[in-house]
Amino acid sequence: MAKIAAFGEVMMRLQVPGYDLLSQSNTLHYTFSGTGVNVASALTRLGHDGCLVTTLPENPIGDAAMSFIQKLGIDLSFTVREGNALGMYFLENGFGPRPSRVTYSNRLESSFNTASPGIYDVEALASTIDAIHFCGIALAMNDTVRQHITSLVEAVKAKGGRIIFDCNYRPSLWGENGYKKARPYYEHMLTHADIVMMNEKDAMLILGMQTDETQPHEQLQELIPRVAHHYNISLIAGTHRSIHTNNTHTLQGYLFKEQSFAFSQPLTFSVYDRIGAGDAFVSGIVHGEYQGFSPEKTIMFATAAAMLAHTVTGDTPMSSEHDIFQAMTASLNDVER
């Protein structure tokens, strides 16, 4: 099993129970999550040593976040405490044609986003891990965070570790002309990355690549090999999602490695909690890589992991390797007892 770090902000998720609006209810359920937590947790459940690199505030909110993340079994040796603000988001569940609604609060002032330069023990971390995961959300934050990312990337590469990067472009974080602003930072990450999550839209919108194809599947097959070649990336993977009217989604995963594509079966399933599914996917890819699965098995594993993450409460994937294998092979089952 591998030791894999994930760098990213921890946020407090404050969810209105059931289908009430924030203006109808008086109760919130809270958990703590973020891409880093989700990836480190998912890998820990798969048997790896998942390690979270982040900054949490030195107050009772930070204590609660620590407790929550410890509960997941994540290694917090490289989590530091500083400042007194944690980013938050309020989640109102949608139903059918009414979409879910997310309202952020206090994000830019958070301890993570204002962490002091040099706060992370980059050298010690780089010496102990096999790989480190970053995502486009952290990249969007500010120069301070990007500085942390750069120093981590360099230290890990220097020690021979691998860089995993999930493009995960969020328009609201980059603002107007966002793709243009984002491009240099993404190019910098892709140049160093070994394993990348993206799809054809990222190639066109962020990297500005062009194609005559009009269908996503064809665009993907043209553009991803070009990206892999251009930035010298060993593995690129991602998913195509379609959303149906009866609260089911269909997900198909792809994986490009050593000049060829592998595709998962398309999986269709009911959705309970969509947030965090992408993090389950990347964790599945990483697990497949470190276990030496064939590309076909890896992409099926990762897509099934993503599917299961839609059926679990909260952002954080909770499935074991056994659960995912079962979901890959099993037909629908009656209750087990």
- Footprint of a copy of itself on residues 44-63 (CB under 8 A)? 59-61, 63
With respect to a copy of itself, which residue has the nearer C-beta, 204 or 318? Answer: 318
329 interacts with a copy of itself by CB under 8 A: no
Cα 280 to chain centroid, rounded: 7
Among 248, 239, 258, 243, smallest CA distance to 304 is for 239
Nearest alpha-carbon partner for 274 in 20, 94, 77 = 94
Range 212-231, binding a copy of itself (CB under 8 A):
none
* Residues in 151-180 that interact with a copy of itself by CB under 8 A: 170, 172
Cβ-based neighbours of 334, under 8 Å, separated by 6 or more: none
Q: How long, in residues, is the chain?
A: 337
Which CB sits closer to a copy of itself, 9 or 289? 9
Per-position x/- string for 95-124, each x denoting binding to a copy of itself as judged by CB under 8 A, each - no binding: xxxxxxxxxxxx--x---------------
> Is 196:289 a contact under the CB 8 Å cutoff?
no
Q: Establish if 140 lies at the interface with a copy of itself (CB under 8 A).
A: no
* DSSP bridge partners of 4: 50, 131
Give residue for tokens 């993907």: 220
For residue 157, the minimal CB distance to a copy of itself (Å) is 31
Question: Which residues neighbour 118 within 8 Å (Cβ) at sequence distance 6 or greater?
Answer: none
How far apart are the C-alpha atoms of 67 and 313, rounded to whole Å?
18
- Rounded to whole angstroms, the Cα distance separating 144 from 156 reads 19
- Residue 92 contacts a copy of itself per CB under 8 A: yes
Among positions 27-46, residues that touch a copy of itself (CB under 8 A) are 27-31
Using the rule CB under 8 A, which residue among 177, 214, 215, 245 binds a copy of itself?
Answer: 245
Query: Whole-angstrom Cα distance, residue 129 to residue 181?
Result: 31
**Residue 337 contacts a copy of itself per CB under 8 A:** yes
- Interface positions, 255-284, toward a copy of itself (CB under 8 A): 267-275
Q: Which of 10, 37, 72, 145 binds a copy of itself (CB under 8 A)?
A: 72
DSSP string, 128-140: H-SEEEEEHHHHT
Nearer to a copy of itself, 259 or 331 (CB): 331
Instruction: Confirm or reject binding of residue 314 to a copy of itself (CB under 8 A).
Output: yes
Binding status of residue 73 toward a copy of itself by CB under 8 A: yes
Which of 47, 66, 234, 325 is in the footprint of a copy of itself by CB under 8 A? 66
Q: The tokens of 222 are what?
A: 């043209």
Asked whether position 247 contacts a copy of itself by CB under 8 A, the answer is yes
